[in-house]
Amino acid sequence: MGISSGKISIIGSRGIPAKYGGFEVFSEQLAMRLAERGHDVSVCCEFSNHNDLDSYKGVTLHYFPIPPPKKYSLRKFYEILNDIYFISIMSASTDFLYILGVGTAGWFTFFPKLVNRNVKVIINIDGLEWKRDKFNIFEKLVLRINNLLAIFFADTVIIDSKNLIKYIAKDKKSKTIFIPYGVEIPESVLWNNSELEKISLNCNGICMVKPNRYWLVVARLEPENNIHTILKGYLQSSSKIPLIVVGDPTNKHYKIKLKKILETDDNKKIMMVGSIYDLQLLNMLRQNCFAYIHGHSVGGTNPSLLEAMIMKSIIVAHDNEFNREVCQDSALYFKDELELKEEVESIENFREDYTKLKNLAYVRACKEYPWDKIVDIYESVF
């Protein structure tokens, strides 16, 4: 495809190289691949004590001058300032301002046109933020208003799930484009017990785990990711295989709730290992799990679900419109802890009956979500 003559600035992730979550992985992959095709791309990053990279894989990096707060409760205010700062300084010098998420500064998307009437503002609305249980009623109202204002002021609205179109006002649907996240086929990672020593301090017994003999969850520990449902359903089952949960809680009240559930785990079968940013180790766990449980319920195309699919995992996903759109008939589904309990027991007792799901998920990920296909669409937008 032709090379864009304009500058592209990506705002809204914590920055690259990716060390946090889905938006960071997405920012890195999209920016890097656009740069490889000859585009002038910038990614806006949070403050770092190691701001020694001016660029990364051909992508120019810009840093917020204020370090993030240690308290997670203050992060929302920090992220508002971060987004406003970058929207303000990047608008004058860019041609395409791509804002990931509208939860913090969606109301400020009117500003770029005041500075540069030629700049094109592109918004990725990132699921249904205002439906997340971690937010109180006031926060949900603000998020909903932010979403509506961002859609109103944007030139183009990106949705990563076709099901999100129903949440776009009728008169704004014409400027909405469906572009999901992408995924790439990873290199095979051999099982290495010494790699597990990196997380063994977080969880007694993790080094005793054997390949293909553990259930796996990779997610931020938040209510809308149904971690409580997963823990309860697993503990109610007769499973003999341990459950490894990768991720950290972002809410102290939810952390207490999960702790109470874990206190009922008399056999210590659940291993809460915290966040893992070592991609080699994370992919080793993904590629060698017995099966993968995915609890996300309010997002669109979730990157961690695509990564499980491309790893040829048996997937048990929360039953909602977004997960069904992504997996279709290549996964099993659960609505509550009882249904999850039944799925866990069925897979453990009759695993051979479900192995075909691995290849179905893999083939679907390769066909529908390859990065080259996704970047082609983005090039056409820019």
Q: pLDDT per residue over 11-36, tens digit each?
A: 989 889 887 777 888 999 999 999 99
pLDDT beyond 70 at 200: no
% of the chain with per-residue pLDDT over 90: 61
Q: Provide the whole-model pTM.
A: 0.89
Number of residues assigned to the chain: 382
Per-residue pLDDT band at 5 (split at 50, 70, 90): low
pLDDT of 204 reads 63
DSSP character at residue 300: S
What is the enclosing helix (H) or strand (E) of 379? helix 371-381
Give me the residue label for tokens 């929360």: 318
Task: Judge whether 217 and 246 are in contact, CB under 8 Å.
Answer: yes
Burial (CB count within 10 angstroms: exposed 0-12, middle 13-18, buried 19+), residue 56: middle
pLDDT beyond 80 at 206: no
Tokens representing 74 are 């203050």
Count the neighbouring beta carbons within 10 Å of the beta carbon of residue 219: 22
- On the question of a common fold for 7-179 and 193-368, the answer reads yes
Mean residue pLDDT of the chain comes to: 89
DSSP character at residue 17: S
% of the chain with per-residue pLDDT over 70: 94
Cα separation, 121 vs 107, in Å, equals 13
pLDDT: is 49 or 222 the higher one?
222
pLDDT beyond 60 at 3: no
pLDDT of 71 reads 79
Cα separation, 296 vs 226, in Å, equals 7
Count the neighbouring beta carbons within 10 Å of the beta carbon of residue 346: 15
Burial (CB count within 10 angstroms: exposed 0-12, middle 13-18, buried 19+), residue 3: exposed
Residue type at 194? S
Contact partners, residue 202, CB within 8 Å, separation at least 6: 272, 273, 274
- Where is average pLDDT lowest: 92-101, 104-113, 262-271, 360-369? 104-113
Average pLDDT, integer, range 212-237: 95
For residue 278, the SS3 value is coil
According to CATH, the topology of domain 193-368 is Rossmann fold (3.40.50)
pLDDT of 101 reads 83
pLDDT of 141 reads 83
Average pLDDT, integer, range 246-254: 88
pLDDT of 135 reads 72
Q: pLDDT per residue over 277-333, tens digit each?
A: 888 899 999 999 999 999 998 877 888 999 999 999 999 999 999 999 999 999 999
CATH of domain 7-179: 3.40.50.2000
Q: pLDDT per residue over 51-104, tens digit each?
A: 678 899 999 999 999 998 887 778 878 888 999 999 999 999 999 999 998 766
pLDDT of 106 reads 77
pLDDT of 148 reads 86
**Sheet harboring 243-246: ordered strands across?**
270-274, 243-246, 215-218, 291-294, 315-318, 332-334
Per-residue pLDDT band at 201 (split at 50, 70, 90): low
Contact partners, residue 69, CB within 8 Å, separation at least 6: 75, 77, 78
Cα separation, 10 vs 8, in Å, equals 7
**Do β-strands 40-45 and 7-11 pair in parallel, antiparallel, or remain unpaired?**
parallel
Beta bridge partners of 120: 96
Per-residue pLDDT band at 169 (split at 50, 70, 90): confident
DSSP 32-94: HHHHHTT-EEEEEE---TT---SEETTEEEEE-SSPPPSSGGGHHHHHHHHHHHHHHHHGGG-
For residue 270, the SS3 value is strand
Cα separation, 365 vs 216, in Å, equals 19
Domain residue ranges in the chain: 7-179, 193-368
Report cis status (omega within 30 of 0) of the bond before 17.
yes
Cα separation, 12 vs 18, in Å, equals 13
